[in-house]
Amino acid sequence: MAFVVTPSTISNPKRLNLRRVGAQMLGRGFRVIPRHPLRARVFWRLLFDQAPFRYFLALSPFPTAMAIRPDLALAISQAPLLMFAIIVLIESSILSISTPAKRRRLLEAAEAARGLDVLRQRGTDILARIAAGRGLQTERLHLIVEQSGLARVPVLTLISVQQEAETAGARPVLLDLDSAERALVSERLFDDAFSEPFLHRINLYENKFVRDVAFEAVAVTAHARLMAVAVHPAAPASAAQESPAG
C-alpha cells in the first residue's frame, strides 16, 4: 500500500515541517494523515501502525468478555499479567521479526543488494524526470521511501520527494508533486519484478526501513530537458538550452 506524501495529499502539512532530509515519518506519532481520511484506505493502515491502537485491539476481548459475563469482570480485571503477555506475544512474535537469525532467513545478501540497486536506478530515473520537468538546475533532490517495520500485515510504504536547502541552517522542502508527478512515482517505482513486499523483505532483512536515493539536478541531460518541455510545455525552455549536453 503505497502513499505519495506531499503537502497537497495530506491534511496536516505543518506537522511535516522537516528538520532534515529523510526524517522518519512513521512511528513518531500520527504525523501523516491523508486528505479525507475516513474514505482513504491508507488511513486505516496508518492507524494500525500506531502502537496504542494495536494495544487497544489486542486487549479488546477482555472488556467484551466482561460485558458478556459480568460475573467474571472482577477476575478478568485482576489479570494484568495475562494482558501484558498477550501484547508482548503479538508485538514480538507476530508483528515483528525480532532476531537477526530470523531476518537472515528472509533472503540472500546478494538478492538484497540487487534489489537496492534496482531501487537506486528507478529512484534516480524518477528524480531526473521530475527535475527536468521543473527545469531545476543545481538543486539536490532525494526520493525517500519509508516502510512500516510491521511484519505479516499489508505493507505500508510512504514515498516523498524532498529538496535539500540551498542555504546553511535552512530546512529541506517537501516537494508538492502534481498529479502527473505522483503518477510517475507510482508507475515507475514498483512493479511485479520489484514490488513493495520485496523491498519490505529487504528492509526486514537489514532492519532498516528508510531508504534515500539522492540526485543532483545538474546531471539531467539536455535531451531529457527537451523531452520534458515537449511533454510539459510549461517547463522552462531556457533550462534545456542552458544545460550541458549529455
Question: What DSSP assignment string belongs to 51-96?
Answer: HHHHHHHHHTHHHHHHHH-GGGHHHHHT-HHHHHHHHHHIIIIIS-
Cα 20–Cα 6–Cα 186 angle in degrees, nearest 5: 110
Q: Is the pLDDT of residue 29 over 80?
A: no
Please tell me which residue, 81 or 209, carries the higher pLDDT value: 209
Three-state DSSP class for residue 160: strand
Query: What percent of the chain stands above pLDDT 70?
Result: 90
Higher pLDDT pick, 71 / 131:
131
Please determine, for residue 231, whether its predicted confidence score (pLDDT) is greater than 90.
no
Residue 60 grid coordinates: 479488546
pLDDT attached to residue 208? 95
The average confidence (pLDDT) of the chain is 86
Average pLDDT of the residues in 25-52: 88
High-pLDDT (> 90) share of the chain, %: 52
- Give the lowest-confidence range in 55-64, 81-90, 191-200, 231-240: 231-240
What is the distance between the alpha carbons of residues 172 and 25, in angstroms, rounded to a whole number? 14
Q: Answer whether residue 41 shows pLDDT above 50.
A: yes
**pLDDT, mean of residues 17-44:** 86
Helix (H) or strand (E) holding 142: strand 140-147
Predicted model pTM: 0.86
